[in-house]
Amino acid sequence: MNVGIVGGGQLARMLALAGYPLDLRFQVLDPASDACAGQVAALLRGDYDQETRLEALADWADVVTFDFENVPAEAAHTLERQVAVYPPAQALALAQDRLLEKTLFWELGIPTPAFTTVASLKELQAAIERVGLPAMLKTRRLGYDGKGQYLLREAADADAAWRALGGVPLLLESFIPFEREVSVLAVRGRDGSTACYPLVENHHRDGILRLSRAPLAAPELAREGWNYARRLLDRLHYVGLLAVEFFVRDGRLIANEMAPRVHNSGHWTIEGAQTSQFENHLRAVLGLPLGLTEALGHAAMINCIGSLPPRAAVLAVPGAHYHAYGKAARPGRKVGHITLRADTPAALEAGLEQLLPLAGYRADDFHSPPLAGNPDD
Ligand code: AMP
């Protein structure tokens, strides 16, 4: 079967790598001649709103999916007229706009930070009164990896925040002094069957994910997260993998955002789970049975940002796996990741101590507070 992917970055690349053993073929649509998925799949060069390109992809493919959510709504609809497209265009539209996304969370009873829209400096000042401080000002659209965000600590920050982001539709939301950040990776098949991966704990710096560990041994939180994720999957008649990111505050989840695609915090599943998120996304969009989502012991994923670590040194650490994306080194760019698998949490931490410095972090950079109810942790 032929799978078309809109976007040719590392997510498309890892989808293709997961799909070849299932006897699938891939074409990726991307405007960049050096799109890294083009090294492992046929590259169809073109803009995402170029009708002839979209039609060519739809013509060839049995199903079309995405490697990022900021696909123009019109493009998704053009594809939908010709071919099966998953996840549904509605899920993309919701995830593109923080206002629609947060309104959906609210409608489904999923806790989310207090928020209000902002269209002028005057509205920002009024919004600060309503939401309180500290608060995050965010662009409604096209924000990712911490881009398009401004943290306001005091009312006097309003002018600078407006100068930095003003001119496009904005959202002010309350700042959550979280204990930890987690994500839920859930998948829904064409037949409505669902599965969830173990809860993942994430560490961001400068808005970019740096380290994930899974499973997080917090069964109550996991149940709460799976429940919220299933509400989203069912409401959206979703097909494919959905990632939902949460803050944890006072032992409860507060939803930050969702991504209607495979997700960076799920890369550990390639070696660390029975079925990887990439394979399960493909199984879902093709109408195949979903694979088991259980973790195989303990896993961590270190993002390689800007440059790749020395390969031999990484591979010398027992349980470490190296993933280069075939991208040129550039500051701030995700160029690869390392997965570490271990049988025990202690062995995982010992391996991380060796691996983190190789990827440019300090060995003790990403410690988590103890879990409530787990005094020994
Ligand atoms: P986002 O682009 O919304 O995923 O934000 C990137 C990162 O910024 C998050 O993972 C958090 O670490 C931080 N962040 C975003 N929104 C908030 C908030 N309301 N309160 C506290 N931290 C936030």
The answer to whether residues 134 and 190 belong to one domain is no
The answer to whether residues 314 and 223 belong to one domain is yes
Residue numbers of the domain that contains 157: 114-174
CA-based R_g, the chain, Å: 20
Instruction: Give the whole-angstrom CA distance, residue 72 versus residue 76.
Output: 7
Q: Which residues contact 154 (CB under 8 A, 6 or more apart)?
A: 133
The answer to whether residues 325 and 286 belong to one domain is yes
Q: Which ligand 1 atom lies nearest to the CA of residue 174?
A: 19
Q: Which ligand 1 atom lies nearest to the CA of residue 178?
A: 21
Output the domain CATH number for residue 147. 3.30.1490.20
Segment 214-219 mean pLDDT? 97
Q: Which ligand 1 atom lies nearest to the CA of residue 98?
A: 3
The answer to whether residue 227 is domain-embedded is: yes
Q: Crossing angle, helix 158-165 and helix 121-131, to 10 degrees?
A: 120
pLDDT higher than 80, residue 377: no
The answer to whether residue 217 is domain-embedded is: yes
Q: Crossing angle, helix 73-80 and helix 89-96, to 10 degrees?
A: 180
State whether the beta carbon of 175 lies less than 6 angstroms from ligand 1: yes
pLDDT score for 375: 45
Question: What is the domain count for the chain?
Answer: 3
Instruction: Give the whole-angstrom CA distance, residue 29 versus residue 49.
Output: 11
In 3D, which of 229, 282, 243 has the Cα closest to residue 108?
Answer: 229
The answer to whether residues 195 and 122 belong to one domain is no
Give per-residue pLDDT as tens, 138-153.
999 986 666 789 999 9
Percent of the chain with pLDDT over 70: 98
Segment 4-24 mean pLDDT? 98
Number of CB atoms found within 10 A of residue 260's CB:
28
Output the domain CATH number for residue 11. 3.40.50.20
Phi–psi pair at 196, nearest 5 degrees? -125, 145
Mutate to test the pocket of ligand 1, among 182, 244, 256 (most ligand atoms within 8 A of CB): 256
The answer to whether residues 140 and 196 belong to one domain is no
Q: Are 182 and 200 in contact (CB under 8 A)?
A: yes
The answer to whether residue 306 is domain-embedded is: yes
Output the domain CATH number for residue 332. 3.30.470.20
Instruction: Give the whole-angstrom CA distance, residue 363 versus residue 276.
Output: 27
Query: How close is the Cα of 19 to the center of ligand 1, in Å?
Result: 32
pLDDT higher than 90, residue 363: no
Query: How close is the Cα of 207 to the center of ligand 1, in Å?
Result: 7
What does each C-alpha distance from 84 to 7, 14, 189 come to in angstroms? 17, 21, 13
Q: Which ligand 1 atom lies nearest to the CA of residue 113?
A: 19
Q: Crossing angle, helix 89-96 and helix 98-107, to 10 degrees?
A: 110
Query: How close is the Cα of 336 to the center of ligand 1, in Å?
Result: 23
The answer to whether residues 144 and 164 belong to one domain is yes
Q: Give SS3 for 284.
A: helix
Last residue of a domain, one of 174, 204, 221: 174
The answer to whether residue 289 is domain-embedded is: yes
The answer to whether residues 260 and 308 belong to one domain is yes
The answer to whether residues 184 and 170 belong to one domain is no
The answer to whether residues 222 and 287 belong to one domain is yes
pLDDT score for 144: 65
In 3D, which of 106, 264, 254 has the Cα closest to residue 179?
Answer: 254
Instruction: Give the whole-angstrom CA distance, residue 325 versus residue 264.
Output: 13
The answer to whether residues 129 and 66 belong to one domain is no
pLDDT score for 146: 65
The answer to whether residue 364 is domain-embedded is: no
The answer to whether residues 132 and 169 belong to one domain is yes
The answer to whether residue 165 is domain-embedded is: yes
State whether the beta carbon of 181 lies less than 6 angstroms from ligand 1: yes
Segment 215-239 mean pLDDT? 98
Percent of the chain with pLDDT over 90: 92
The answer to whether residues 185 and 164 belong to one domain is no
Segment 89-104 mean pLDDT? 95
In 3D, which of 233, 242, 283 has the Cα closest to residue 260?
Answer: 242
The answer to whether residue 95 is domain-embedded is: no
The answer to whether residue 376 is domain-embedded is: no
Q: Are 135 and 128 in contact (CB under 8 A)?
A: yes
pTM reported for the whole predicted model: 0.96
